[in-house]
Structure 1
Amino acid sequence: MAKNYKLPESEQSGTIVFNLDPLIIKHHYEIDYIHSYAQDTPFFRGLSEGKLLSTYCPNCGYKYGTPRAHCMHCGKPTEWFELPKEGYVHTYTTCYYGSEEFLKETPFHLILVEWPGVDTFFLGRLIGVEPGEIKIGMKVRAKFKRLSQFKPTDVYFVPAE
């Protein structure tokens, strides 16, 4: 007598097909990713301590709003310094669409923060304002999440009072 060998199938996990030629299907994939912040470690550790750290070049004096390990002008290694908590809106945009992480927050505002004496800007979120209330030159203050996730989104900005 022939045995019936058959793999069990579940109708609950069918394949979603988006296209047949070329074949494009949806496949869920999840993985834990372990990585190092390497030379940017002081920046992320600083966020967890309520500090906004960046770098400057001791050779040519160029100051960065976003840290860099080496100067983009002379190539020398940079050193760390603490940015002020208050800066100014250099420019802004309101985002009506976002990635999955920000989808619940749309619309949200992104700003480039500038500080006197710092040569580049820092990209961050501005909260607590309506689109018509944001102005170039507006004074803003850095705030930090109480429970750090060691992500760039641990810092955000609010209007300075």
Structure 2
Amino acid sequence: MALGEHKYAVQVQWIGNRGTGTSAYRAYGRDHIISAGTKPPIAGSSDAAFLGDASRWNPEDLLVASTSACHKLWYLHLCAEAGVVVLEYRDEAEGTMLDNKEGGRFSQIVLRPHVVVQAGSDAELAGRLHHAAHEKCYVANSLNFPITCEPVITTRAV
């Protein structure tokens, strides 16, 4: 595994100028395009509660998704190393943000992974590996609020 510094470059381009820029709070759109190299662009906006487009990804969605995806990637890695064969993985993650006059903050993220492991795999170990994945998750280690994990592990014959 490579160690060291890793950099991630993204571009965020605001496309919400409706002709008068930010002349008033309700005068501009919150839409933007997130891009990184040759990857498909992500249509972004603010949350609909903040005059954004609910059909586009908002920063809060992306933070919860990043936390969930990072946990999943570490979990699958640890399962592969431990001989636990994962057949399916689906997370129903939820973040809670508290809004206030100063701007607000996230108070928690709850990960709810539903994992199907192959019959014969150690389901108890599969459950414990979520704790290890959380300890290694780069995103979770960078956040300053609680992230909990409520996994459900089931088995299935191939």
Please report the TM-score for the alignment, with normalisation by the length of structure 1.
0.21
Q: If each structure's helix is expressed as a fraction of its own residues, which one has the higher value?
A: 2
Name which one, 1 or 2, has greater alpha-carbon Rg. Answer: 1
Please report the TM-score for the alignment, with normalisation by the length of structure 2.
0.21
